[in-house]
Structure 1
Amino acid sequence: MASESSNGRMIVVAVDQSEESLHALTWCLRNVVGKSNGDDENTKDTLVLLYAQPPRTVYPSIDGTGYLFSSDVTVSMDRYAKEMADGVTARARAVCSNNPRVKVETRIEVGDPRDVICEVVEKLGADMLVMGSHGYGLIKRTFLGSVSNHCAQKAKCPVLIVKRPKQ
């Protein structure tokens, strides 16, 4: 595996504000983290919580001389995006806080989640990518695309897609 050493594995978990993402993280902590470290209690897996923040959409004005939103509005949009990213990563960190078998890092990257996740996994040399599945049907998946399907095809490491059980 790419980064396996005395420090354990590097596992990237894609997180967002969905319950499916939180379920995948919880499942990973219960079933993957620390499971192959043998008897060495000093070896910890590194869990990278990755939040892919969609880029802010820029709307040019109709006459082409400026932007549709004032600078105050764009500052507010950026502040909201940062608060969302911080909230998602804080929530994910809280889920990991009681697990002594893992070292937790967070990353917030801006861009199309499909591309960002695959790029970060490759750049870090991750041993595994874990992500949730929203469980969209064929129609929604056709129009919205499937981030997990894209990553399963393009990521340079094994991808574990965790489906949330139906309630």
Structure 2
Amino acid sequence: MGRRIVIAVDEGEESLHALTWCLKNVILPSASAQESSSGGDEGDVLVLVYARPPRLYYPAMDGTGYIFSTDIITSMENYANELAKSVIAKAEMVCAEYPNVKVETKVKDGDPRDVICDMVDKLGADMLVVGSHGYGPIKRAFLGSVSSHCAQNVKCPVLIVKRPKS
């Protein structure tokens, strides 16, 4: 049986670099159809996980609940959905260069740290691969590090891939 490898993807080049690096260096291709039908080993399954930012809620001063009209809220939700589709489509195009790799996609709303950790646990992942933005200690202190949070909170090995500086 192949491994279940979760790769966190987002809009940044760091996650696409991590995906590409993983495909070249970690993923085992699926067995051929003939081997599969005769009970041969299956290849790895790659699960692309995208955390769609949660909808922001701005309380209005008049107590109606929203400061924006429903048209604006709908527009913001449509944008978030299109962005999620775009990120997943871009990642799937990278995976298409490896036709023997099985790919699944998951999109979930929430903080990326929580979404990634939850999906790893829910899917019973054998490995998590995340890209690193390479923030310095000050930026990391203010923004937080998704990769560090995941490395400390999931129960499987975590591979953090940094982009080369050049």
Give TM-score, length-normalised by structure 1: 0.90
Describe the shift of the 1:138–1:41 C-alpha distance in structure 2 as closer, same or farther (beyond 3 A).
farther
**Which stretches in structure 2 are left out of the alignment for 5+ residues?**
37-41
What's the offset of the Cα at 1:63? 2.6
> What aligned pairs does 1:31-70 form with structure 2 within 5 A after superposition?
31-34=25-28, 42=36, 43-70=42-69
The code of the aligned residue for 1:159 comes to: V
In the other structure, the counterpart of 2:105 is 106
RMSD: 1.5
Identity over the aligned pairs, expressed in percent?
66
SS of equivalent to 2:104: strand
What's the offset of the Cα at 1:41? 6.4
Q: Which runs of 4+ in 1 moved over 6 A?
A: none
In the other structure, the counterpart of 1:121 is 120
Choose from 7, 12, 16 the match for 1:13. 7
Describe the shift of the 1:25–1:157 C-alpha distance in structure 2 as closer, same or farther (beyond 3 A).
same
Matched residues in 1 for 2:110 and 2:55: separation?
Answer: 9
Of the structure 1 ranges 154-163 and 95-104, higher mean CA displacement relative to structure 2 is found in 95-104
After superposition, the C-alpha distances for 1:81-117 in whole angstroms (9 at most, x for unaligned) are 0000000000000000021331001110101110110
**Which stretches in structure 1 are left out of the alignment for 5+ residues?**
none
CA contact (8 A) 1:45 1:101 kept: no
Give TM-score, length-normalised by structure 2: 0.91
Describe the shift of the 1:132–1:107 C-alpha distance in structure 2 as closer, same or farther (beyond 3 A).
same
